[in-house]
Amino acid sequence: MRRRRGDHRAQPSSPGPGLSADGRHDDEPAARGRRTRPRRDYGVTASAMVAEFDDVAGWTADAVEQLGERHAIPAACRGSASPAALAWLAEACELSAGVRLLDVGAGAGGPAAWAAERFGVRPILLEPMPAARRAAARLFGLPVIAGDGRRIPLRTGSADAAWCLGVLCTVQDKAAVLGEIHRVLKPGASLGLLVVIARGPQLLPVPDGNHFPTQGELVDLLAGAGFEIVEQIDQPGGMPLSWSRRAEQVAAVIATRHRAEPAYALAAHQGERFTRLFASGQIAVRLIHAVSRSAGHPRKPRMEER
């Protein structure tokens, strides 16, 4: 499952491997995420996923250590979420001090660290990629569990809230991931999603390892897993210059150190494909707030059915 993608893809330019200053791929709205740990010998798709979500995470931690800790959250949110998207999700989920927040596909830990700093939540990170797990521990000292969303090693009903940012488009069995998140959430608990959705036929090449759901498919998947959508919006635009500047500085260090490496080229290729898809309008980012229904709770009509 994932690292992440964010909710910003329309940025001016980016020095990173296909990533925009706000957090993912250049000129895209940022929304992707953590993924199931692919092995490097599984082929091109696995190698691209490892490069995008594992290698880049490790490079990010190294660059932040050189530049300073103020760069950590913006850099670790690259491709995951902007401050505006994180604020919308946090307010929608009514995060507060002491809330046990599960971040599924947490990547290098930027969004979880942001929520802990701003709202005092107690984050638990779930991440399959080893370098990303090490980056989250190095940068933020947060508890990170090795694993992906198809089998979450937590007790049933043990989480107060969950985030899953830019992850669903990177897994094929989305129903299994959403079902597991539902299992570990308390009844009535909030789920915040950042999802890249398909808007019509995919006429251009899709980034390796990505499977974009349509809006209707996403609604049905959530309902089938036991969630009720409360509200949803398109990605908020823009981010403060102070945030994007720090992310760009980290990306520049990464480019200087790793531009000649094959993994850098693979990550850049992924970003280029996202850029073209976003620019063509074939994909878009949605922020969704849903709540976990208890067993036996009747399913409400889809929002578009009302």
- At 147-168, the pLDDT tens digits run 989 999 999 999 999 999 999 9
Q: Mean pLDDT, to the nearest integer, of 260-270?
A: 94
Distance CA 51, CA 49 (A): 5
Q: Mean pLDDT, to the nearest integer, of 73-98?
A: 94
Which pLDDT does position 44 carry in this prediction? 52
Q: Is the dihedral of CA 95, 98, 100, 101 positive or negative?
A: positive
Spatial contact of 56 and 247, defined as CB atoms under 8 Å apart = no
- Between 80 and 221, residue with greater pLDDT: 221
**Does 17 score more than 90 pLDDT?**
no
pLDDT over 70 percentage in the chain: 81
Q: Mean pLDDT, to the nearest integer, of 115-137?
A: 97
At 111, the pLDDT band (50, 70, 90 cuts) reads: very high
H or E, element range at 241: helix 241-258
pLDDT over 90 percentage in the chain: 74
Which pLDDT does position 62 carry in this prediction? 97
C-beta neighbour count of 41 within 10 angstroms: 7
Spatial contact of 47 and 266, defined as CB atoms under 8 Å apart = yes
Which pLDDT does position 236 carry in this prediction? 87
Q: Mean pLDDT, to the nearest integer, of 6-13?
A: 34
At 9, the pLDDT band (50, 70, 90 cuts) reads: very low
Q: Mean pLDDT, to the nearest integer, of 48-68?
A: 94
Q: Mean pLDDT, to the nearest integer, of 109-118?
A: 98
**Does 136 score more than 60 pLDDT?**
yes
Which segment of 58-62, 111-115, 291-295 scores lowest on mean pLDDT? 291-295
- For residue range 187-204, list pLDDT tens digits in order: 999 999 999 999 988 889
**Does 300 score more than 60 pLDDT?**
no
Which pLDDT does position 21 carry in this prediction? 34
CA nearest to 12, candidates 243, 248, 284: 248
Distance CA 109, CA 106 (A): 5
**Does 237 score more than 50 pLDDT?**
yes
